[in-house]
Chains A and B, each alone.
Chain A
């Protein structure tokens, strides 16, 4: 969609053109007119998504130096590298909306923008790396595949690339857990313990129940979101139950059972108090994650300053005419 926006066109007309494009499933592109609230919602969501990728490197990086085989170590390093890459795509997508990466990072570091609550849980054993791949990446994919059809073009295109790599990570996580589950007794117990600790936090990744989700209705109307939190959560549970069975592991929910009438699995109540505590900054690792991120940024300040100083010394106006403007 391309919408010229001469000053003579009034806002009502622009809004009508925008609404029509969204209704026709056309993509909104960076130069198109869009409502301020649509832009603000996307900035918030894409930034939070980018922040989640880079904070999400920490729980897994925690195990790079202890990975128990060279093959697993290579897989884990490649995964953490992919996450940094996803962060880069997503910051670029956010930048098409007129915000800078530095500004977004400042907001992350000062706690004014959030990241996914799941990364405030600790990785206590090697099996947690597998549980994160299977459950956390699995939940992320369930959330993100519909975003490949999101109304905002740059975000949708970033998600296509992100989802391809995420599904690969998810399969690797599953395969890691399978190796543990079929391994020694101690390995099996390690895998079960990890699934027990990560199951409920993974279900919380879909956000609050539909009745309490502040942004859902508007996001669905704008086709940023395609399905409700509860719909996606249900889809995820239905996918995981048979996978847990083939893994030879159980899910820690006595209320979990197939409901013939609904054609879905019923599952037990989520501890929303815990969810809100973690979101408020009181989860097990909130402080540690943010402190680590701030420290990396602060420790790197002199490096970024050096790169800028060096570029300024060695860039002449003839090489980059725009620099002298």
Chain B
């Protein structure tokens, strides 16, 4: 097996770590008890992926708690605040579809991420199903839920282009093909949910690929401040 490319381990690990954190913020706030269980379940799967990926390239806690904002390599999509339930579901639909396709391809290859991807592809299939079912319920539910779901998709669309910026260290991925597959799946779900696929750009020109280069959106710094505060307050302590 090839050595693990650290850039790719950090990119994929940070995506999972940051989205897991955002989903963890839902605990105790979900619209029904079943969703307390489901969102925590997805957050835990993602945290498991993050721990495996970060550990491939260093100490998971040092990487999670002692890097500053500019050193994180996650896409901007996953750091977006939770918003209402529709915004969280829209973020989940866009990201879990991406992750499911990406891990499917990595699992089929013989690169260093294949074993992790083989496990993660099963988890992300469940995540995608969950997001898809809720997109259908909200999009094709009441006029209010339809409106909220449409606004959520519109609001996040600009962050989806970054998903298809090639990640250094993943030579087996055909990024344009991944983008086509993603677009087909997401637009099909939106259509079934009676929603419009947004017409706006998927990335503002200045922002394309920014998260992968450590350029993030404003809410991210505050998220890290909360996440890292306790760990940083006790240098060298073990927990």
Contacts and interface: CB of A to CB of B under 8 A. Distances in A.
Interface of A: 54, 57-58, 61, 64-74, 77-78, 80-81, 84-85, 87-88, 91, 126, 176, 179-180, 183-184, 186-187, 292-293, 295-297, 299-307, 309-311, 313-314
A311 B142 CA distance: 11
Interface stretch (B45-53, B98-106, B154-162, B203-211): B45-53
A217 to B, nearest CB: 34
Interface in B70-128: 84-85
B137 interface: yes
Given A54-B36, A69-B231, A80-B27, 15 more contacts: A65-B25, A65-B227, A66-B226, A68-B239, A71-B239, A77-B27, A80-B40, A84-B36, A179-B239, A183-B238, A186-B237, A296-B29, A300-B30, A303-B31, A305-B141
Given A57-B27, A81-B40, A70 B34 contact: no
Interface in B28-72: 28-34, 36-37, 40-41, 43-44, 47-48, 50-51, 54, 60-61, 64-65
Contacts of B47: 70, 73-74, 77
Nearest to B141: A306
Contacts of B44: 74, 77-78, 81
A296 B237 contact: no
Contacts of B131: none
A61 B51 CA distance: 20
A91 B32 CA distance: 13
Contacts of B151: none
Contacts of B234: 68, 184, 186-187
A74 to B, nearest CB: 5
A234 to B, nearest CB: 33
B226 A54 contact: no
Contact of B34 (A77, A88, A126, A292): A88
B216 to A, nearest CB: 17
A302 B60 contact: no
B142 A305 contact: yes
Interface of B: 17, 21, 24-25, 27-34, 36-37, 40-41, 43-44, 47-48, 50-51, 54, 60-61, 64-65, 84-85, 136-138, 140-142, 144-145, 148, 226-227, 229-231, 234, 236-239
Given A68-B230, A303-B145, A74 B51 contact: yes
A184 B237 CA distance: 7
B48 A88 contact: no
Contact of B142 (A77, A84, A179, A302): A302
Contacts of B239: 68-69, 71-72, 176, 179-180, 183
B142 A61 contact: no
Contact of A64 (B24, B30, B31, B48): B24
Contacts of B30: 296, 300
B145 A302 contact: yes
B136 A310 contact: yes
B24 A307 contact: no
